[in-house]
Amino acid sequence: MSQRWLPFWILVAGYALFLAYAFPGFMSSDSLLQHSEAQLGTYSNWHPPAMAALWRLVEHAVHGPAAMLILQSAAFVAGAYRLLRRQLAGVPAAACTIGILLFPPVLAAMAVIWKDSQMTGYLLLGASLILDADVRCRIAGVACLALASAMRDNAPAATLPLLLVWNSPRGWWQRVAIGISLWIAITACAFGINRALTTEDRHLWHSAVASQDIVGILHYDQRSDAECEQLLLGTPLKIHHHIARSQLFDPQNWYAVMNGPGRLFDYPEDDAKRAAMLRAWKQLVAESPGDYLHVRLRIFMEVLGLSRKPLFAAVWHTRRESWADPPDVPLRPTQEAIGEALDWIAAHGLVFRPYLYFFGAIGLLVARRRDRWMVALLASALVYELTFFPFAASADVRYSLWLMTIAVIVAILAIAKVVVRRRATK
């Protein structure tokens, strides 16, 4: 085998191992919702419609999740390899790329058709292209970052630090000006496309974030039923006794607040009910800011895995491809064995705990503060993760996929740089 082609064959062999577990792509309830919208061609904004529209486009070539799996994972592999090649030779860069793809928390998320996985793949490829000396590659990188921005509402928090490393021969001020201008353009484009595609407004903030905050603040505030009734007047309130003591607040998941026989609220289906939810939220935040911050901190701690609770939705390996499929479609033996291993690692190890990567990224940011592009990558991951403090309604491990990926890549690059420097001084 030619040494020139060895990195390519390492990538091919490693990618085949990934597909042995992931193919044709696992589907959660979120995935099934977006797939059904892709098939119908009608898009709600419960998830950014751009992903469902993209799925509808690739459905013309391959039905089901397989094409979306290839898109997100191929972008991930290409982006990771290009970034690692900035410091490593071809063979070690290829080996490390596959090692990251098969790293348990990355493998578990990249095997599922999620907006988080799509976003991470396009962000990684875009980041690697933005740093290229060829202007055509940088333009392609901006396009990838625009696509990533359309995959999640908080993705622009990740793209801004990456765009600020735009190469400019005239100094830092021009680089910053170009980066901010590009960020505004692609963010406006992503939000505009999602708004134009939306045919059903699901009012995610009112239904998930606001309801979770209200239940959480009441959990700590412990108001009387009469006070709660007055506060929640006009909202779609379902229970009228022991409202503040309903025990519905779960910092890992908002779902029980709005669903099930013991739910606190129905979904706010008209403007008057949504206005009442907003009014109640504002009043609670204004009157009990300490409790609000406590609620947000509790949720963010769960996002980072900083509790003794089992992680929420760490591994997902369901083979359903539509709502019509039974929920227990059997896995292939390879999938079942790897899935059980991932379940065990998530339950007993620390590698799935996002706080390791959060604090590790902060340490790397300090250590590599002179490497502008490494700082940009780490800042992108950290700023993105911090957006879950005010906006997360649940604590899925997949939310931290971008953080985990960047922390591992930069750690490898930092170690490689130290090794090269030490060898040069001998």
Task: Report how far residue 109's alpha carbon sits from residue 260's, in angstroms, rounded to the nearest whole number.
Answer: 28
Q: Are residues 108 and 20 in contact, defined by beta-carbon separation less than 8 angstroms?
A: no
CB proximity list for 182: less than 8 A, separation 6 or greater: 142, 163, 166
Q: What is the reported pLDDT for 176?
A: 86
The span from the first CA to the last CA of the chain, in angstroms, equals 33
Q: Are residues 310 and 397 in contact, defined by beta-carbon separation less than 8 angstroms?
A: no
CB proximity list for 17: less than 8 A, separation 6 or greater: 98, 102
- How many CB atoms sit inside 10 A of residue 318's CB? 18
Q: What are phi and psi of 310, to 5 degrees?
A: -60, 145
Q: What are 38's two structure tokens?
A: 């892709």
pLDDT per residue of the chain (426 residues) written in tens, 0 to 9: 567 899 999 999 999 999 999 999 999 999 999 999 999 999 999 999 999 999 999 998 898 999 999 999 999 999 999 999 999 999 999 999 999 999 999 999 999 999 999 999 999 999 999 988 888 999 999 999 999 999 999 999 999 999 988 665 567 778 888 899 999 999 999 999 999 999 999 999 999 999 999 999 999 988 999 999 999 999 999 999 999 888 899 999 999 999 998 999 999 999 999 999 999 999 999 999 999 999 999 999 999 999 999 999 999 988 887 777 777 788 999 999 999 999 999 999 899 999 999 999 999 999 999 898 999 999 999 999 999 999 999 999 999 999 999 999 999 999 998 887 777 776
Q: What is the reported pLDDT for 419?
A: 84
Rounded to 10 degrees, the C-alpha dihedral 393/395/399/405 comes to: 160
262-294 burial code (b ≥16 CB/10 A, e <16)? ebbbebbeeeebbebbeebbeebbeebeebbee
- CA nearest 227: which of 301, 161, 280? 280
Task: Report how far residue 73's alpha carbon sits from residue 15's, in angstroms, rounded to the nearest whole number.
Answer: 9
- CA nearest 199: which of 412, 59, 41, 386? 41
Q: What is the reported pLDDT for 1?
A: 55
Q: Number of C-alpha atoms within 13 angstroms, CB side, residue 260?
A: 8
Domain layout of the chain by residue ranges: 3-200+333-350, 204-303
